[in-house]
């Protein structure tokens, strides 16, 4: 993996090939994916995901085979810059899914929402239909299930075009990979905590924080329990520096 050479369209960040594109370009890729009759996976990557891929071979393989890996997280943009590469901008799960919702009304795409605590996906669906009138959400399920079978059956019956999976990083991509052969969708995206934001349970950082690349700090202050997982950030930057120097 570490040997993937940088190509014009991808940046190799510690062995993970991250697509070099803007939000608008990512949305164009989504439109192309929806025209093909097969499952596509989008991973919105951040330094935690890169570090997880370095320890978890299965996850690394999934990232390698994903149809699009976007740079969610300012750490990744900075890391790429240290490596001498420019990622044009952050493409977060929430911005990407919002862009897809806007396009979906015109294109007629339908959705299934999977993940978050009981009640959240349902509340997110209600808020989304309110915000994007006419949006087709065919079903939802919370993310604290033991048995995937009833969910797979429901998705098979409802045949949504797009599946948003919010089970947390790693878990959500593995769920899609494991059950891909049963998923009649054209696109699955791991969206982390986005359903909590759409449902209004968690506030997204104000624009100023987003623009300054400090969204992570806002989230950390609001949810101090995130500190443990954020400790990988200095390790990530250290490894990037080492890779840039040697």
Stretch of residues binding ligand UDP (CB under 6 A), selected from 102-110, 122-130, 164-172, 174-182:
164-172
Stretch of residues binding ligand UDP (CB under 6 A), selected from 6-14, 78-86, 110-118, 177-185:
110-118
Binder among 95, 173, 196, 215 for ligand UDP (CB under 6 A): 196
Footprint of ligand UDP on 16-55 (CB under 6 A): none
- Contact status, residue 185 vs residue 162, Cβ threshold 8 Å: yes
**CB of 65 or CB of 225, closer to ligand UDP:** 225
The phi, psi pair for 206, rounded to 5°, reads: -60, 155
Please name which of 179, 161, 172 lies closest in space to residue 45, comparing C-alpha atoms. Answer: 172
167 binds ligand UDP (CB under 6 A): yes
Residue 92 has what DSSP assignment? Answer: -
Cβ atoms < 10 Å from Cβ of 107: 13
Cβ burial 212-224 (10 Å sphere, 16+ → b, else e): eebbbebbeeeee
192 binds ligand UDP (CB under 6 A): yes
115 binds ligand UDP (CB under 6 A): yes
Stretch of residues binding ligand UDP (CB under 6 A), selected from 5-13, 34-42, 54-62, 160-168:
160-168
Q: Which residue has the tokens 């700090």?
A: 217
Q: How far is the CB of 142 from ligand UDP (least distance, A)?
A: 7
- Contact status, residue 197 vs residue 204, Cβ threshold 8 Å: yes
Site string for ligand UDP, 57-96 (x = CB under 6 A): ----------------------------------------
193 binds ligand UDP (CB under 6 A): yes
- In sequence order, the 6+-apart residues with CB closer than 8 A to the CB of 172 are 115, 165, 166, 190, 191, 192
- Contact status, residue 97 vs residue 194, Cβ threshold 8 Å: yes
**CB of 26 or CB of 116, closer to ligand UDP:** 116
Residues within the interface to ligand UDP (CB under 6 A): 115-117, 143-144, 166-169, 192-193, 195-196
């Amino acid at each position: 993996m570490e040997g993937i050479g940088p190509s014009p369209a991808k940046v190799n960040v510690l062995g993970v090939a991250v697509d070099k594109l803007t939000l608008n370009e990512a949305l164009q890729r989504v439109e192309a994916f929806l025209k093909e009759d097969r499952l596509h996976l989008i991973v919105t990557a951040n330094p935690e995901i890169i570090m997880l891929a370095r320890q978890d071979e299965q996850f690394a393989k999934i990232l390698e085979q994903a149809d699009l890996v976007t740079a969610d997280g300012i750490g990744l943009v900075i890391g790429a810059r240290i490596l001498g590469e420019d990622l044009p901008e952050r493409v977060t799960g929430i911005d990407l899914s919002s862009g897809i919702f806007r396009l979906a009304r015109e294109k007629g795409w339908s959705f299934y929402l999977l993940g978050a605590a009981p009640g959240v996906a349902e509340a997110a669906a209600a808020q989304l239909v309110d915000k994007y009138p006419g949006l087709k959400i065919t079903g939802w399920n919370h993310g604290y299930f033991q048995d995937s079978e009833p969910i797979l059956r429901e998705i098979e019956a409802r045949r949504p075009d797009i599946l948003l999976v919010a089970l947390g990083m790693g878990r959500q991509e593995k769920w899609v990979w494991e059950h891909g052969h049963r998923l009649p969708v054209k696109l699955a995206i791991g969206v982390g905590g986005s359903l909590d934001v759409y449902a209004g349970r968690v506030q997204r950082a104000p624009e100023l924080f987003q623009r300054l690349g400090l969204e992570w700090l806002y989230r950390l202050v609001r949810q101090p329990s995130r500190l443990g997982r954020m400790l990988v950030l200095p390790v990530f930057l250290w490894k990037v520096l080492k890779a840039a120097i040697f």
